[in-house]
Amino acid sequence: MIISFEGIDGSGKSTQAHRLLHRLANAGYEPLFVREPGGTDVSERIRDLLLDKRNRIDPMAEMLLFSAARAQLVSEEIRPHSRGGGVVICDRFFDSTVAYQGGGRGIADPRWLLDFQETVTGGLVPDRTYYIRVPVDVARERLTHRDSRAGADRMENEDRAFFTRVTEAYDRIAEWAADRVRVIDGARDADAIAKAIWQDVEGLLPERN
Ligand code: Z5A
């Protein structure tokens, strides 16, 4: 079973993905946790290229690099684990490419990109996607504190209009893929969000051996 977490940077999706990881582990599951881009040697090297703010990357090249990192991650990690009956938690998956490169950058029709991503993953689609939705200003405010310490990466340096377009694209994905995507109000406190997600996940979980 594959569960993905999506949202703009600062939405709190990584917080929720980790909360679910711990909750599943406590319940006796052995989930695989992956983040995108990354998760394999090759994909982590692509991540370094993509997030290094010294690099100027053509938008089409950017989309293909994110997709390349994902194809590698799917074949090396996600597919083998989910085929064996395991639970996989993805901190971002292909909806990020549709929202950021399709919506944010406008490199191609988001609907076309969504179809293309199914080719990238060999047809592998999450069973559930939690889209943690927060207003752009709330996300940026949260990151102000963090980035003053760590420094923003190449993607985080984009302006408010970019993240507004990304949000609009996520909203459209949630409509197109309403069967798998659950929109979660990310402005609430982290405990309340984790509780709502767990209630939903419990109904999806496979039997433990
Ligand atoms: N990207 C792309 O363009 N195309 C793609 O196909 C893919 C990715 C896969 C990856 O960056 C970048 O690549 C990302 C999208 C792009 N760029 N942007 N912008 P990353 O992996 O370094 O980071 P990220 O995935 O974007 O986000 P993150 O750093 O993991 O943050 P987050 O998941 O959005 O939020 P968080 O770390 O859980 O929380 C952020 C802060 O808010 C933190 O201080 C928390 O303590 C706080 N927080 C969390 N929840 C709450 C609540 N509920 N209330 C208040 N405060 C909270």
What is the value of pTM for the model shown? 0.96
Tens place of pLDDT per residue across the chain (209 aa) = 999 999 999 999 999 999 999 999 999 999 999 999 999 999 999 999 999 999 999 999 999 999 999 999 999 999 999 999 999 999 999 999 999 999 999 999 999 999 999 999 999 999 999 999 999 999 999 988 776 555 678 777 789 999 999 999 999 999 999 999 999 999 999 999 999 999 999 999 877 76
Residue nearest to atom 53 of ligand 1 (CA): 190
To test the pocket of ligand 1, the residue of 101, 142, 146 to mutate (highest count of ligand atoms within 8 Å of its CB) is: 142
pLDDT of residue 53: 92
Whether the CB of 171 sits within 6 Å of ligand 1: no
The DSSP result for the chain, as a single string, is -EEEEE-STTSSHHHHHHHHHHHHHHTT---EEEESS-SSHHHHHHHHHHH-TT----HHHHHHHHHHHHHHHIIIIIHHHHHTT--EEEES-HHHHIIIIIIIS--S-HHHHHHHHHHHTTT---SEEEEEE--HHHHHHHHHHHHHHH---TTTTS-HHHHHHHHHHHHHHHHHTTTTEEEEETTS-HHHHHHHHHHHHHTTPPPP-
